């Protein structure tokens, strides 16, 4: 094409520009995958109940009928109801992870590279709950491995802990595209899994990181600035666990002056653990 603009290249460039505007910031393969294509997969693949669960009291059937294949998209209210049903069938952390792996009710899964479930020691007394995986976490499949994760590791080190002595997860199990804020629907759909996560993990102390985790787990509309640094009790599923909210490490990277509050909050966490007889 002497002197003219190659229409194929121009169209490819326009498509790339559109993807970047939509929040794409990573190339993960040579061949495009249409994650929105309709495929015949079960909407809610709950793990099979284990033998001892199956016998005397059969589980009630789901409150609402699940749409049948081939549609994989659930209306959001149904997605949260389906999530609750499925989460309740999980008896162990690996079962919960497997259930999330096959859960099709959260649209974030379509754009994420992979599930980001948890990192650290499943039997650690301390459970940290962040917001959502970012780019690095999406690539590695582990929470808090990017810049904010490195800061979190330093905060943990300040109280003599590392990931062998803490358990880390998020409110969302898939990366929101372009790291945008999760929607209310996405958070509501993942919340039953988070609550089941806590019930199965049974930590001695919970720390929420950032606004979204604090509001959702404490079920309040108060913001993080008011909530942080105070002890509450997480009372659900027969549990009563001391819980404290603090700023998100990513917020500290933007506003380092708040580091002193987080340091203070984690010293309080260490004191709480010690008062509960937990050694470093
Ligand atoms: N921010 C989070 O809230 N979670 C992560 O896993 C990483 C960054």
If one residue of 113, 133, 152 were mutated to test the ligand 1 pocket, choosing by the most ligand atoms within 8 A of its CB, it would be: 133
Residue 108 in tokens: 């974030």
For residues 133 and 118, the answer to whether their CB atoms sit within 8 Å is: no
Q: Is the CA virtual torsion 13, 16, 21, 27 positive or negative?
A: negative
Between CA 96 and CA 71 the distance in angstroms is 23
Atom 3 in ligand 1: residue holding the nearest Cα: 131
Query: According to the model, what pLDDT value does residue 70 have?
Result: 35
Helix (H) / strand (E) containing 246: strand 241-246
pLDDT digits (tens, 9 = 90+) for 60-107: 333 333 333 333 455 667 999 999 999 999 999 999 999 999 999 999
Q: How far is the CA of 239 from the centre of ligand 1 (A)?
A: 26
Q: How far apart are CA 105 and CA 43, in angstroms?
A: 7
Mutational test site, ligand 1, from 144, 153, 155, 178, max ligand atoms within 8 Å of CB: 144
At residue 24, the pLDDT reads 62
Question: Is residue 173 in contact with ligand 1, taking CB distance under 6 Å?
Answer: no
Cα 170 to averaged position of ligand 1 atoms, centre (Å): 7
Per-residue pLDDT at 13: 77
Judge if the upstream peptide bond of residue 70 is cis by omega within 30 degrees of 0: yes
CA of 157 to the centre of ligand 1 (A): 18
- The pLDDT, as a whole number, for residue 11 is 75
CB of 131 shorter than 6 A to ligand 1: yes
CA distance 141 to 113: 8
Burial of 238 (0-12, 13-18, 19+ CB in 10 A): exposed
> Which DSSP letter does residue 119 get?
E
**Distance (Å) from CA 130 to ligand 1 centroid:** 6
Please, which residues have CB within 8 angstroms of residue 158's CB and are 6 or more apart in sequence? 263, 266, 267
Q: Are 120 and 158 in contact (CB under 8 A)?
A: no
Orientation angle between helical segments 259-275 and 147-158, nearest 10 degrees? 50
CA of 144 from ligand 1 middle (Å) equals: 5
Find out whether the beta carbon of 134 lies less than 6 Å from any atom of ligand 1. yes
Short-list 73, 78, 62, 94, CA closest to 188 = 78
pLDDT tens digits, 131-157: 999 999 999 999 999 999 999 999 999
The tens-digit pLDDT sequence of the chain (280 residues) is 556 788 878 777 777 676 565 556 666 555 565 555 554 444 444 444 433 333 333 343 333 333 333 334 556 679 999 999 999 999 999 999 999 999 999 999 999 999 999 999 999 999 999 999 999 999 999 999 999 999 999 999 999 999 999 999 999 999 999 999 999 999 999 999 999 999 999 999 999 999 999 999 999 999 999 999 999 999 999 999 999 999 999 999 999 999 999 999 999 999 999 999 998 7
Q: Is the CB of 132 under 6 A from ligand 1?
A: yes
Residue 109 to residues 46, 93, 114, 138, 158: CA-CA distances in angstroms? 17, 20, 7, 11, 35
The predicted structure's pLDDT at residue 170: 98
The pLDDT of residue 38: 52
End-to-end CA distance of the chain: 70
C-alpha–C-alpha distance, residues 159 and 170, integer Å: 21
* Cβ(133) – ligand 1 distance below 6 Å: yes
DSSP character at residue 129: E
State in Å: Cα 115 to ligand 1 middle: 13
Establish whether residue 249 lines the binding site of ligand 1, counting it when its CB lies within 6 angstroms of any ligand atom: no
Q: Helix 93-101 crosses helix 184-201 at what angle (to 10 degrees)?
A: 160
The CA 279 to ligand 1 mean position distance, Å, reads 27
Pairing of strands 205-209, 126-130: parallel
């Amino acid at each position: 094409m002497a002197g003219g603009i190659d229409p194929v290249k121009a169209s490819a460039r326009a498509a790339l520009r559109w993807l970047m505007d939509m929040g794409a910031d990573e190339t993960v393969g040579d061949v495009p995958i249409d994650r929105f294509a309709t495929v015949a997969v079960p909407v809610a693949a709950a793990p099979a109940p284990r033998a001892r669960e199956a016998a005397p009291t059969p589980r009630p059937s789901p409150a609402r009928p699940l749409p049948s294949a081939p549609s994989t998209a659930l209306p959001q209210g149904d997605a949260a109801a389906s999530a609750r049903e499925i989460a309740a069938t999980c008896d162990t952390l690996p079962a919960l992870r497997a259930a999330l792996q096959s859960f099709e009710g959260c649209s974030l899964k379509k754009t994420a590279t992979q599930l980001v479930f948890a990192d650290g020691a499943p039997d650690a007394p301390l459970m940290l709950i962040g917001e959502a995986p970012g780019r690095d976490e999406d690539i590695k499949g582990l929470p808090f491995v990017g810049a904010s994760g490195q800061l979190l590791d330093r905060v943990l080190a300040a109280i003599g802990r590392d990931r062998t002595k803490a358990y880390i997860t998020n409110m969302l199990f898939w990366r929101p595209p372009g790291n945008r804020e999760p929607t209310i629907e996405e958070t509501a759909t993942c919340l039953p899994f988070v609550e089941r996560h806590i019930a199965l993990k049974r930590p001695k102390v919970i720390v929420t990181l950032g606004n979204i985790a604090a509001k959702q787990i404490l079920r309040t509309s108060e913001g993080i600035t008011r909530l942080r640094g105070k002890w509450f009790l997480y009372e659900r599923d027969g549990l009563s666990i001391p819980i404290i909210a603090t700023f998100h490490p990513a917020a500290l990277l933007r506003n380092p002056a708040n580091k002193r509050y987080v340091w203070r909050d984690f010293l309080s966490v260490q004191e709480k653990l010690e008062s509960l007889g937990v050694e470093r």
